[in-house]
Amino acid sequence: MEAIKLCCAKCGFVVEEYTSVELTDNPRKAKRCQYLLQKSSICPSCLASGRLKEVRTQVDDNAIVGAKPQPAPGVAAAHEEHPQSPTPMMDAISRGSWPSHAAELKKTHYPLQMYEQALQKRATQWGYGGYVSLPGVAAGVLVRASARPDITKGSNFLRIMDPCGNFFKTDAMRGLCDIADKYAYGLLHLLSTGGDLEMLGIPTENLKPAVDEITALGFDVGSTGDDYRTSEECIGPAKCDLPLYDTLGFREAWYKRFLEDVQYPRFPHKFKCKFAGCPNDCVRGGQKADVFVCGVFRDLPIVDQPKVAAWVKGGGDISTVCTRCPGGCLTWDAKRGLGIDGDSCIRCMYCINKIPGVRPGGDRGVAILVGGKLRGKYGPMLAKVLVPFMKAVPPDYKEVFDLIERITAVYDEHARKKERMGDFLLRIGMVEFFRLVGVEPSAQLFDRPRTNLYYHWEPEEVNAEIAQRNIAGQSVSKE
C-alpha cells in the first residue's frame, strides 16, 4: 500500500494525506485529491502560493495512516533552519526550558499561520464559533469558522468526557492518539478547564467516523451547549488522604443517572456540577460550579496526640499552624498536647492539611452549594450554601441526586434563556430560591443577618401569625 501526501512544495507541510486504497475505493476522496493537485493554493504553514507536491511512500498494509509520529517531512527542519522562517514568532515561543505549545503545534497538522499571523497582527484569526449537532450526536461537536479562508477553512472539534480522576491507561490514550492522527490535526487538548478532553481539527466529513471510533474505544462525547456539562471531581480516595466521600464513585453514579442530560441540551444555559471531597475544594467548585457538592464533617477533627507530639519533636512548625488557624481555636502545650476549641472551629481543613496526626472528624456528609460562576451576565460569583449537610449514600446517592434534579427543575422552569444559575439567583433572590426548592432555614445558610431593616411580610403570613397567637391566647385563658 502506498501513502500519498500532498505537501507544500516549499516547506513540505502536509496538507492532505491519503492511502492508495482510499483513492481507489472512495471516488469522493480521489476527486478531492485530483482537485487539490490541480489547484494553485496557499500553504497554511509558510503562506507560499503554488501547486501542491505529491509525495508517495510505501507503507505497511496494516498501518493506520498517520498513526506513526507525524513525519511531516522536513517541516520541523524547515522551521528551525530556514534563514527566513515562515513562523518567526512561533519559533521564538518554541525556545526555552519550559515545554512550549508552539513546538507542539509544529508536530501536528495545525495550520501554523493561523497562530503565527495572530501573534504578528495581535488579533485572533479565527471566526465565529458555536455548537452543532450531527445525526445521532446531539452534543459534543464544536465548530470554529476561520476569518482567514486563505489559510484554512475553519475547523471542528470534539469534546470527549474524561475518565474518573483524569487517569488514563496508556492503551486507551494511544487509541485516542490514533484517532487524532487519522481524522484530526493530531493535536489534543488534554484537559480543558471544564474537565473535558478535546480533539481538534476534524474535517466535517470525518466527524461521524471519528465519533464512532471514539465510542468504540470506550470514550464518549458530549458536554456542549445548554446541558449538564461534564462533571469534575477531585482526586478523592484514589490518591488523597482527606476525602470525606467517594468523589470518583459519586461522579460515576452521577453519569449513570444524568448521562442523557449531558448529551441532549435542554436547559436555559449551561449547567456545571462539580464534586470536591473536602473543604479544600481542589476542583474550585465554589467558584465554577452551578451545583457544587462539597464533602463536610460535623464532629471536631480527630487528634492523634502521640503522632502530633512526634511531628512537633521532629521539627514540625506548630506555632505557625496555631497562629494561622482561621478560627483561632488551636492551642499547643507540650504536656496537654493539641487542643481544639469546639465553638470556633470552622472545619476548614487547615490543621488537617498541615499536621500529620490530625484527621477529619466523624459524622461526614456533603454540603450543596449553588450559583458559582466565572462569567455569566454579572461576572464572577462564589457559590452559596443551599443545604449545609446531607448524607451521601452509595451506590446510587439517591437523596443527593434527587436534590440536584429538583434544583435543575426549578432553574429550568424559572430562569430566562442564557441566564446562568448565579444570575438567576441574583434576580430572584436566595430566599425565593430556598422557597422554590423547599429548604428549611438554618444558621449555616447565612453569612450574616441583614443590616438593611426594610423587609416584607405577606398579608397571609401576618394573618396566620395573628391567628396562631389568638389560638394560643384562648387556650391560656381557658386554663
Partner 1 sequence: MPGIGIPPLEANLPPIVKRNYGKWISHQHPRPGVIKHDSESGEACFTVRAGMPPNARISTQTLRTICDLADEFCEGYFRVTQRNSCEFVGVPENRVEQLIARLAEMGFPVGGTNRSLHNTVCCTGYLHCHLAATDPAAIMKAVSEMLLHEFQNDCLPAKLKISGSGCLNNCGESSTADIAVIGVHRDLPPIHAEKLKGCELPLVISVCPVGAIRPKGPGMIEIDPKRCVHCPACSVACAAMAPIGSPDGDGVAIVVGGKAGNTGDGPAMAKLVVPYLPNNPPFWPEVTAVIRKIVDAWSANARKDERVGEWINRIGWEKFYERTALPLSFKVMDNYDARALECAKPNVRFTW
Q: Which of residues 136-195 bind partner 1 (CB under 8 A)?
A: 136-138, 140, 144-145, 147, 155, 157, 161-174, 177, 180-181, 186-194
Count of all residues that appear for the chain in the document: 479
Distance from chain centroid for Cα 59: 39
Query: Quick one: 9 or 382, whose CB is closer to partner 1?
Result: 382
Q: Which region among 3-11, 27-35, 280-288, 328-336 touches partner 1 (by CB under 8 A)?
A: 280-288
Q: How far is CA 151 from CA 38, 51, 114, 126, 147, in A?
A: 18, 15, 7, 10, 9
The interface mask with partner 1, positions 367-406, x = CB under 8 A, is -------xx-xxxxxx------------------------
Bridge-based pairing of strands 364-370 and 358-359 is unpaired
Q: How far is CA 330 from CA 325, 352, 443, in A?
A: 7, 12, 24
Report 445-464 residues binding partner 1 (CB under 8 A). Answer: none
| Whether the Cβ atoms of residue 388 and residue 346 lie closer than 8 Å to each other | no
Of 51, 107, 414, 427, the one binding partner 1 by CB under 8 A: 107
Write the burial class of residue 165 (CB in 10 Å: 0-12 exposed, 13-18 middle, 19+ buried): middle
Of 26, 100, 204, 206, the one binding partner 1 by CB under 8 A: 100
Site membership for partner 1, residue 74 (CB under 8 A): no
Instruction: Tell which residue, 237, 261, 247, has the closest CA to residue 407.
Output: 261
Site membership for partner 1, residue 300 (CB under 8 A): no
Distance CA 74, CA 70 (A): 11
Distance from chain centroid for Cα 421: 17
Distance CA 67, CA 174 (A): 9
Which spans in 336-456 are helix H?
350-354, 398-414, 421-428, 430-437
Of 29, 284, 414, 427, the one binding partner 1 by CB under 8 A: 284
Query: Quick one: 319 or 463, whose CB is closer to partner 1?
Result: 319
Site membership for partner 1, residue 123 (CB under 8 A): yes
Query: Quick one: 6 or 272, whose CB is closer to partner 1?
Result: 272
Instruction: Tell which residue, 154, 110, 151, has the closest CA to residue 132.
Output: 154
Which spans in 217-269 are helix H?
247-263
> What is the closest distance, in whole angstroms, from the C-beta atom of residue 86 to partner 1 in the complex?
15
Query: Quick one: 51 or 316, whose CB is closer to partner 1?
Result: 316
Of 84, 97, 451, 477, the one binding partner 1 by CB under 8 A: 97
Question: Which letter does DSSP use for residue 284 in this model?
Answer: -
Bridge-based pairing of strands 273-276 and 291-297 is parallel
Of 19, 44, 47, 70, the one binding partner 1 by CB under 8 A: 70
Distance CA 431, CA 373 (A): 19
Site membership for partner 1, residue 69 (CB under 8 A): yes
Can you tell me which residue has the cell 520541523?
76
Report 335-354 residues binding partner 1 (CB under 8 A). Answer: 346-350, 353-354
- Dihedral, 22, 25, 31, 36 alpha carbons, nearest 10: 10
Please tell me whether residue 332 adopts helix, strand or coil conformation: strand
Query: Quick one: 18 or 115, whose CB is closer to partner 1?
Result: 115
Report 409-448 residues binding partner 1 (CB under 8 A). Answer: 416-418
Of 1, 63, 92, 464, the one binding partner 1 by CB under 8 A: 92
Number of residues that bind partner 1 (CB under 8 A): 127
Report 216-245 residues binding partner 1 (CB under 8 A). Answer: 218-222, 232, 234-235, 237-241, 243
Of 115, 397, 401, 424, the one binding partner 1 by CB under 8 A: 115
Give the cell for residue 452: 438593611
> What is the closest distance, in whole angstroms, from the C-beta atom of residue 401 to partner 1 in the complex?
15
Site membership for partner 1, residue 295 (CB under 8 A): no
Query: Quick one: 33 or 386, whose CB is closer to partner 1?
Result: 386
Q: Which region among 36-44, 92-100, 398-406, 466-474 touches partner 1 (by CB under 8 A)?
A: 92-100
Radius of gyration of the chain (CA): 29
Of 108, 113, 224, 408, the one binding partner 1 by CB under 8 A: 108
Instruction: Tell which residue, 89, 103, 133, 106, has the closest CA to residue 45.
Output: 106
> What is the closest distance, in whole angstroms, from the C-beta atom of residue 216 to partner 1 in the complex?
10
Name residue 435's beta-bridge partners.
Answer: none
Distance CA 292, CA 369 (A): 5
Site membership for partner 1, residue 29 (CB under 8 A): no
Query: Quick one: 233 or 408, whose CB is closer to partner 1?
Result: 233
Query: Quick one: 335 or 448, whose CB is closer to partner 1?
Result: 448
> What is the closest distance, in whole angstroms, from the C-beta atom of residue 476 to partner 1 in the complex?
46
Site membership for partner 1, residue 121 (CB under 8 A): yes
Name residue 18's beta-bridge partners.
Answer: 4
Q: How far is CA 281 from CA 189, 264, 273, in A?
A: 24, 29, 13
> What is the closest distance, in whole angstroms, from the C-beta atom of residue 220 to partner 1 in the complex?
5
